Amino acid sequence: MTSATPARDPYLVGLDLRGRKVVLIGAGTVVQRRLPPLLAAGADVHVVAPEATPAVESTPGITWHRREYAAGDLAGAWYALAATDDPDVNARVVAEAEAQRTFCVRADLAREGTAVTPATVATDGLQVGVLAAGDHRRSAAVRNALGAVLTGTEAARPSRKPEGVALVGGGPGDPDLITVRGRALLAVADVVVADRLAPPRLLAELAPNVEVIDAAKVPYGRAMAQQAINQVLIDRAREGKFVVRLKGGDPYVFGRGYEELEALAAEGIPVTVVPGITSSIAAPSAAGIPVTHRGVTHEFVVVSGHVPPGHPDSLVDWDALGRLRGTVVVLMAVERLGVIADALIAGGRSADTPAAVVENATTGGQRTVRGTLATIAADAAAAEVKPPAVLVVGPVAGFTAPDASENPAAG
Ligand code: SAH
């Protein structure tokens, strides 16, 4: 077997991976960051690993083989990635790939692989890949500079490196729906602490030297999960790192952003808050539903459905909501659509009020289920709607765009 020689000038190419098998060995943060672009390319993605990060585990559209790597796992693969934390396993994966002429990236020792992952930025139908002969910092710096020019963030780029922690709203899912300021801060982060709903393709763009912490995976022992997350933010900021806390939507809409602000402020750590486009408005909008419309709706109310109506911990006046004529948007409601619809009807809302559920809004997996308050729970169950999704109730939920086109999801 010929061993791979360090290629100073690898051949830069775009692979058409639609429907083609790609095998990823390992399921840690490296794989987590490669998944969104591979899925966006339409690859038939197989992950082999006994354990996975929560983000990998919950990624729809992948086949996860929950076990250790075994010889033969690359059979039929067009492309592979060796990304376990065991160098011996990675070497075996590369050797198997070499023997069957499958290009393979080796995450821990790039020059031992037969392919390398460029630093990339994707925006508005354009993809840029940068390789710098293995110098990750240089390729990331060039990519960041190009990305800033392409996304128009150059003007917003902080002239000096910011300090402390930025609580950044990542928007509803499409990587282009983060704010210019949010993107500029992300590009200079040393550490990114990401929620599960933070747009995954933004994480895929980060340089390899950026520490990405999956907030769902922060070990919390006897402390509450939120306290443990606060502590990670505090610890990294105290080490002098600039930390971006990346959340889905807006940090202050059911995002616990203010709790983190308080915890950081109590330690004297400077905090920047960057608002985001909240899914409560963007998800309806992406489905062609305006939350307000002149002459129809003079109000929209955003409600959390995470505590069911009638529960002692509920802070929501469902009877009052049932008396509204306008738009009611309910987040975190997928598992409780029936009781929520019943509570609104019991409060006085007509059972034939239009209702819609929008799942995975602004991503490639966006779906909309439409019905009425009386039928929506059964409609959503029949369509097997899963979180994240928003429920929209009101006349506007019955609107269909005049040209019947829903906003296309970003690819
Ligand atoms: N801070 C976030 C909301 C966090 S609560 C924001 O402003 O959007 C999490 C809930 O948000 C999910 O249960 C779901 O109801 C909603 N959500 C987030 N992203 C979504 C998306 N892409 N599509 C549909 N609903 C989404």
| Alpha carbon of 82 to ligand 1 centroid (Å) | 33
The per-residue pLDDT for range 395-407, each reduced to its tens digit, is 999 997 665 455 5
CA-CA distance, 171 to 180, in Å (whole number)? Answer: 11
pLDDT at 411 over 60: no
Predicted confidence (pLDDT) at residue 171 exceeds the cutoff of 90: yes
For 118-169, what is each residue's pLDDT tens digit? 998 887 778 899 998 888 888 888 988 888 788 766 655 566 779 999 999 9
| Position 409 pLDDT exceeds 50 | no
Average pLDDT over residues 29-56: 93
| pLDDT beyond 60 at 290 | yes
Q: What pLDDT score does 204 carry?
A: 87
Task: Please identify, by atom number, the ligand 1 atom nearest to the C-alpha of residue 358.
Answer: 24
Query: What share of the chain in percent tops pLDDT 90?
Result: 76
**C-alpha closest to that of 106 among 94, 124, 98:** 94
| pLDDT for the residue 404 | 46
Tens of pLDDT, residue by residue over 86-117, are 999 999 999 999 999 999 999 999 999 999 99
pLDDT per residue as tens digits for the range 244-286? 999 999 999 999 999 999 999 999 999 999 999 999 999 999 9
Which pLDDT value is given to residue 29? 87
Q: Which of 73, 195, 250, 379 is catalytic?
A: 195
190 pLDDT more than 90: yes
For the chain, how are helix, strand and coil distributed in percent, rounded to 5? 30, 20, 45
For Cα atoms 265, 267, 268, give the angle at the middle one, nearest 5 degrees: 65
Instruction: Give the model's pLDDT for residue 26.
Output: 96
pLDDT > 80? residue 213 = yes
CB atoms within 10 A of CB 66: 12
More confident site: 35 or 408: 35
What is the predicted pLDDT for the residue at 255?
93
CA 382 to ligand 1 centroid distance, Å: 21
Quote the percentage of the chain above a pLDDT of 70. 93
Q: Is 28 in the pocket of ligand 1 (CB under 6 A)?
A: no
Burial class (CB in 10 A: 0-12, 13-18, 19+), 220: middle
User: Does the annotation mark 214 as catalytic?
Assistant: no
Interior CA angle at 85 toward 80 and 87, to 5°?
Answer: 75
pLDDT band at 7 (very low <50, low <70, confident <90, very high): low
Average pLDDT over residues 327-349: 98
Give the integer Cα–Cα distance in Å for 142 and 147: 8
Residue 174 beta carbon below 6 angstroms from any ligand 1 atom: no
With 0-12 / 13-18 / 19 or more C-beta atoms within 10 angstroms meaning exposed / middle / buried, residue 42 is middle
CB of residue 253 inside a 6 A radius of ligand 1: yes
211 C-beta neighbours (distance < 10 Å), count: 14
Asked whether 215 lines ligand 1 (CB < 6 A), one says no
pLDDT score recorded for residue 410? 41
Whole-number average pLDDT of the chain? 91
Residue 168 CB–ligand 1 contact under 6 Å: no
Q: Residue 177: CB partners within 8 Å, gap ≥ 6?
A: 171, 199, 277, 282, 362
Band (291; pLDDT cuts 50, 70, 90):
very high
What is the best residue among 59, 174, 179, 197 to mutate for testing ligand 1's pocket, by most ligand atoms within 8 Å of CB?
197
Of 277, 259, 273, the closest CA to residue 162 belongs to: 273
In a mutational test of the pocket of ligand 1, which residue from 174, 306, 390 has the highest number of ligand atoms less than 8 Å from its CB? 390
Q: Which of 190, 217, 241, 386 is labelled catalytic?
A: 217
Q: Annotated catalytic, 195?
A: yes
Whether ligand 1 lies within 6 angstroms of the CB of 279 is answered as yes
Residue 282 Cα to ligand 1 middle (Å): 9
Question: For 360-405, how does the pLDDT look when each residue is reduced to its tens digit (9 = 90+)?
Answer: 999 989 999 999 999 999 999 999 999 999 999 999 999 976 654 5
